[in-house]
Amino acid sequence: MKFSSPVSVQWLASFIDAQIIGADNVLATGINEIHKVEQGDIVFVDHPKYYDKCLQSAADFIIINSKMDAPEGKTLLVSENPFEAYCKIVKHFRSFEPATELISNQSAVGEGTYVYPNVFIGHHVTIGKNCIIYPNVTIMDHCIIGDNVIIQPGAVIGSNSFYYNSKKDREVWYKKMPDCGRVIIEDDVEIGAGCTIDRGVSHDTILGKGSKLDNMIHIGHDTVIGKNCLIAAQVGIAGVTTLKDGVTLWGQVGVSKTLTIGENAVILAQSGVSGDLEGNKIYFGSPVQPAREKQKELVWVKRIPELWEKVMGK
């Protein structure tokens, strides 16, 4: 999330009761979790295992629970509980706004767009021109929808991310990270009935121009889907995943988190993707392999009883 205007590190330190190590006359421009940090951002770290990753990231401001020298160009904000400090900042700049009507008067709907009855549109939503939003669609706060978009009945755009801070030395093991990201749907996208698209934790979930989603698809937080992708029914995509332009996922494909699928890759039905894939290839299986290799393997597996009988002389 980017702040509406830069925030001084002195104010931040006072707000979260933190000690400054490093530059103290600088301005933060946003806040992000580690997978999406950019220059000018604040990030938090509360475990030594991840100290180096955060200190070497693009973030300029690190909320941390240990005193140490600040790397050049970085500012440390030393706090007893970095997670709670992070949450306090997010809730301050993206505070909860209760809804009192089905379509918020703080949102904008473009010319030629038709919104069916029983659609909910939250605060600070922008919808472009010539869209069709079918009944029982829910579009939560801060979502951005382009022109010529079709959203079929029952879809939920901008639901909360499935993202938790986990510590097993406390009574509640999983504490929810408050969301301050968005969903951005570009022009000419179609979203099928019953799809659920989670907002980014602190950045954006993006559906690229011209992409088409069938029914009952789940898109996880901070996932970026490229232009002209085709996704069939019952696909599940975990968080912080990238699909490059032209990717096709057939029915019931499962895609794990924090990976990239290259341009024009095709994943055949019921496959499981657990790591990065090169583009311009067809894949099948769980875990996926190039489809022809996997199909040859299945042929040999089918012949095992026959081969066993030959070996045993039966």
Q: Which of 142, 203, 218, 221 is catalytic?
A: 221
218: nearest Cα among 175, 269, 260, 252: 252
221 is catalytic: yes
Query: End-to-end distance of the chain based on CA atoms, in angstroms?
Result: 69
Q: Are the CB atoms for 267 and 253 separated by under 8 Å?
A: yes
Two tokens, residue 229 = 């992708």
Residue 256 and residue 270 in contact, taking contact as beta carbons nearer than 8 Å: no
CB-based contacts of 106, cutoff 8 Å, min separation 6: 123, 124
- List the beta bridge partners of residue 284: 289
Are 234 and 270 within 8 A, CB to CB? no
Rounded alpha-carbon distances, angstroms, from residue 26 to 64, 172, 211, 239:
18, 36, 41, 32
Residue of 292, 227, 218, 279 whose CA lies nearest to 253:
218
Strands 156-159 vs 196-198: parallel, antiparallel or unpaired: parallel
Task: Answer for the pair 286, 268: CB distance below 8 angstroms, yes or no.
Answer: no
The torsion region of residue 52 among left (phi > 0), alpha (psi -120 to 50) and beta comes to alpha
Cα dihedral across residues 29, 32, 36, 41: positive or negative? positive
> What DSSP string runs through 245-307?
TT-EE-TT-EE-SS-EE-TT-EE-TT-EE-S-B-SS-EEETTTTEEHHHHHHHHHHHHTHHHH
State the residue for tokens 């024009």.
Answer: 264
41 touches 28 (CB < 8 A): yes
Which residues have a catalytic role annotated? 221
